[in-house]
A and B are shown apart, each in its own frame.
Chain A
Amino acid sequence: MFDFSIVTGWIHNLLTSFLPYGLAVFVECVAIGIGIMIAYALIAIIMIFMERKVCAAFQCRLGPMRVGPQGTVQIFCDVIKMLTKEIVKIREADKFLYNLAPYVVIAASVLAFSCLPVNKGMEVLDFNVGVFFLLAASSIGVVGILLAGWSSNNKYSLIGAMRSGAQMVSYELSTGLSILTIVVLTDTMQLSEIVARQADGWFIFKGHVSAVIAFIIYLIAGNAEVNRGPFDLPEAESELTAGYHTEYSGMHFGLFYVAEFVNLFIISGVATTIFLGGWMPLHIPGWEGFNAVMDFIPGFVWFFGKAFFVVWLLMWIKWTFPRLRIDQILTLEWKYLIPLGLVNLLLMVIIVVFKLHF
């Protein structure tokens, strides 16, 4: 397995050889920051294109076809359009909060995005409470959404934001619980360490039934937390026109839009990291030849492959299911998912204590 830290180490040595240490680290930070932003934008573009093509396939359509081969240039054009559009000022809106909101959302999304270990040695934010940090960072997003809804001076936005607040805060518990189940299994909260522990088998296979249940709960709760699929009531267009971002235009809307898509990727990326082995190739004990072949596929291919597979699963759900109602969403969470998650956590503790896992 190729270790990306060789490259980063080489760059670090190169920079420190002719720069003072502090300056070298500063340059590295800037470079990594830019790298993350570019990766973020690229992922967003790929996700939007994928969404349009996947939903078109489900709906017996072709999707974007005109701009570029198979419509590949379409999204770039959309980005340019979005960037050049006027940002409409809303009368009676709380200007400061109204302008701040999209950046809060995007900041939360970028922070969470930087936690994903893409390849061996290719982690940006990786420390001993990584999981904790990831959950904390991703939950800042709800603040941005609440601010957006509240400051827009629009009743639809306000209802959308309130729904979103209720929904995201509730489902955070379930995501937390299901991740905690795996933390119990691994006794580490460092994301790179979690991936490393899956070298001999992904947790979804290693963790018995408990991990499978946690994975399913995580997918449902994660889907709800990014306001997608059957849980898209904060922006239910047939009820609230566009929910909390009704009043936003131009790039401010674009930021919400991009954040939504990358958040979907992040949810899938975390699912990949925690349940599906992250960048670890698929190893089947005893099949040495097969395992050796699998090792030739680079880690980031594994990671993106798995992440996009989960994305595809979530898109499938989104484009098939009708939307839930607010009380049904909360019932599902508080009456079913949380009790199930707690019981599941207990089950995992029993499995770990009695060493029943593989």
Chain B
Amino acid sequence: MQEILEIPAAEFHQTARKLKEEKGMDFLRSLTGMDWGEEGMGAVYHLESTSTGATMTLRVRTADRLQPELPSVSDIWKGAALNEREAYDYFGILFIGNPDMRRLYLREDWQGHPLRKDYDASDLTNPLRMTNEEAVDTTETLELNPDGTLKVQENILFDDKEYVINIGPQHPATHGVLRFRVSLEGETIKKIDVHCGYIHRGIEKMCESLTYPQTLALTDRLDYLGAMQNRHALCMCIENALGIEVSPRVQYIRTIMDELQRIDSHLLFFSCLCMDMGALTAFFYGFRDREKVLDIFEQTCGGRLILNYNIIGGVQADIHPDFVKRVKDFIAYLRPTLREYHDVFTGNIIAQQRLKGVGVLSREDAISFGATGGTGRASGWACDVRKRHPYAVYDRVDFKEIVYPQGDCFARYMVRMDEIEQSLHIIEQLIDDIPDGPYYEKTKPLIKLPEGTYYAAVEGSRGEFGAFIESRGDKYPYRMKFRSTGLPLVSAIDTIARGAKIADLIAIGGTLDYVVPDIDR
């Protein structure tokens, strides 16, 4: 549990700028909207310096519950823009200076802000609406007049003469129900407006009325290609809070499972990218081999996609007796197959032309947006949580953090392809000497977390996945927030894809490798 700095709202913007410029706190890990009841509303900011590695947690609050206002930091950390919209959506906190103060997930005509503790969740406030949500072409920026009143400034997103095309919510290349409104000039993209929330399930709200073991069930349903890692993060966060030390056996199993999951995810990434680019044969190759990982999972966990494997204090079941042998067989099989992938796709002249130099994300932007994972590493930012804040047994294994400096689609692609090999290498080091021991620690039937705030992060398949818990000592979390790995990626897409072609947008979306349920939560 880290010291939380309380900063008055009036000074916050200045302080944030100073922190970024003087202390190098250039990475906004997580922005969590909060409702502290009597004490007012506000937000918690997790910061990290990419140069020194120092971390910091800030808390800003405002006592006004009717019209809570906070200064926006979207001009300091670009990634804050969408996160602030999320906080506005959930808590009704107005961020002064954010260029776009629309709701992020819920409909514009939604009544109330669901994560506020005084929210009325009855069907009468928000009945099932039978009309479509109108697409709006304008948005609002809030600014403060010198006398403290609000000045609403209207921003035009798309004017009448623009050729605006919807990519999504139902579209083969958005990998789920994500919607881009794209303004085109011929085939060239002028602007992208991201609409999220088509598969928003209110998981964070649901968690507030579930006991801790129950909340675990929802993490698998966030980023379904990082089910193991997501649940690992939440279990780790709760275990840290409770002070449970899991056995080395569990640490080994969790690490191996995380890496298998990463391979699974990256294989799917390869397949889907190939399919998006029109190379259907390579798509089948990837899926064929992903099945083998899923078979291994199925044998041990019983599930293939929703795995439900980690529990507080350990894992659900011991590994299957065949597990070690099958994993070894798989490693031996995948190495030569990866070369085949490179033959059929990576080396292809068309693939190279489609990916190289397309959709460049600079290192500064990657950090500013908080685009972690393969995307950040392809922009030259060594952002691997496994190296930054080692957990499980990652400090004991030898592996290389793949970093490419180019920041284009090809770099993002190569990072993930090379990471598969690194994952194989990690598993190889661990698989032969999984220590004996209990596969779970006995916990109390009723788990209550001591009062406080907790944050734990793991390297998910596509970036830093964090679980933030604020506990008031109950058996339910007071506030539970998941740092989405996909939201920063999606928030960066307008910057990346501007000036590119439609076909490039597909390649960019494919290489960013977002998973929509993880964005929408």
Contacts and interface: CB of A to CB of B under 8 A. Distances in A.
Contacts of B144: none
A199 B421 CA distance: 57
B402 interface: no
Contacts of A320: 279, 281, 344, 348
A241 B171 contact: yes
B345 A238 contact: no
Contacts of A324: 350, 353-354
Given A59-B281, A60-B288, A238-B278, A322 B501 contact: no
A59 B165 CA distance: 33
A322 B187 contact: no
Interface stretch (A121-129, A207-215, A228-236, A268-276): A228-236
Interface in A227-281: 230, 232-233, 236-241
Contact of A321 (B171, B284, B348): B348
Nearest to B272: A238
Interface stretch (A92-100, A283-291, A325-333): A325-333
A26 B55 CA distance: 89
Interface string B407-444: 00000000000000000000000000000000000000
B348 A238 contact: no
B502 A59 contact: no
A233 B187 CA distance: 12
A326 B188 CA distance: 11
Interface string A279-320: 000000000000000000000000000000000000000011
Chain A CB count within 10 A is highest, among B165, B274, B278, B288, for: B278
A351 to B, nearest CB: 30
A316 to B, nearest CB: 10
Given A60-B288, A322-B348, A325-B501, A239 B506 contact: yes
A55 interface: yes
Contacts of A323: 277-279, 350, 354, 503
Contacts of A155: 163, 165-166
Contacts of A237: 172
15 contacts: A159-B502, A230-B350, A236-B503, A239-B503, A320-B344, A322-B277, A322-B350, A323-B277, A323-B354, A324-B353, A325-B353, A325-B504, A326-B501, A327-B501, A328-B354
B276 interface: yes
A239 B503 CA distance: 6
Nearest to B172: A238
B280 interface: yes
A113 interface: no
A61 interface: yes
Given A155-B165, A238-B506, A323-B354, 6 more contacts: A59-B281, A233-B503, A238-B275, A322-B351, A324-B350, A327-B187
Contact of A61 (B282, B284, B348, B502): B284
B353 A58 contact: no
A325 B358 CA distance: 11
Nearest to B505: A239
A238 to B, nearest CB: 4
Interface string B315-357: 0000000000000000000000000000011001011011000
B173 interface: yes
Chain A interface mostly: helix
Interface residues of A, number: 28
Identify the 8 closest CB pairs spanning chains A and B, nearest first.
Answer: A323-B278, A322-B277, A322-B279, A59-B284, A325-B503, A238-B276, A238-B173, A155-B165
Given A233-B503, A322-B274, A239 B280 contact: no
A239 B500 CA distance: 14
A156 interface: yes
A232 B503 CA distance: 12
Contacts of B399: none
A227 to B, nearest CB: 12
B158 interface: no
Contacts of B281: 55, 58-59, 319-320
Nearest to A321: B350
A319 B282 CA distance: 9
A326 B504 CA distance: 10
Contact of A322 (B163, B165, B184, B345): B345
Nearest to A56: B284
Nearest to B345: A322
A322 B278 contact: yes
B36 interface: no
Nearest to B174: A238
Interface in B341-385: 344-345, 348, 350-351, 353-354
A236 B165 CA distance: 16
A164 B344 CA distance: 27
B285 interface: yes
B279 A321 contact: yes
Interface string B450-470: 000000000000000000000
A35 to B, nearest CB: 36
Contacts of B283: 59
Interface in B260-303: 274-285, 288
B501 A230 contact: no
Interface string A52-78: 000100111100000000000000000
Nearest to B352: A322
Contacts of B344: 320
A267 to B, nearest CB: 19
Contact of B187 (A61, A238, A321, A326): A326
Contacts of B275: 238
A71 B285 CA distance: 23
Nearest to B509: A238
Given A322-B350, A325-B354, A325-B501, A60 B285 contact: yes
B350 A239 contact: no
A319 B278 CA distance: 9
Contacts of B345: 322
Interface string B237-276: 0000000000000000000000000000000000000111
Chain B CB count within 10 A is highest, among A55, A61, A238, for: A238
A326 B353 CA distance: 12
A275 B93 CA distance: 72
A230 B348 CA distance: 12
Contacts of B274: 322
Contact of A230 (B166, B171, B278, B506): B278
A35 B353 CA distance: 46
Contacts of B282: 322
Nearest to B288: A60
A57 to B, nearest CB: 10
A55 B284 CA distance: 11
B487 to A, nearest CB: 23
Nearest to A242: B172
B504 to A, nearest CB: 7
Contacts of B165: 155-156, 159
B288 A239 contact: no
Contacts of B284: 59-61
Nearest to A236: B278
Interface in B129-175: 163, 165-166, 171-173
Contacts of B502: 159, 239-240
Contacts of B351: 322
Contacts of A326: 187, 501, 503
Contacts of B285: 60
Contacts of A61: 284
Interface string A114-145: 00000000000000000000000000000000
A232 B279 CA distance: 11
Interface in A30-58: 55, 58
A327 to B, nearest CB: 7
A320 B345 CA distance: 8
A228 to B, nearest CB: 11
A255 B163 CA distance: 30
Contacts of A241: 171-172
B280 A55 contact: yes
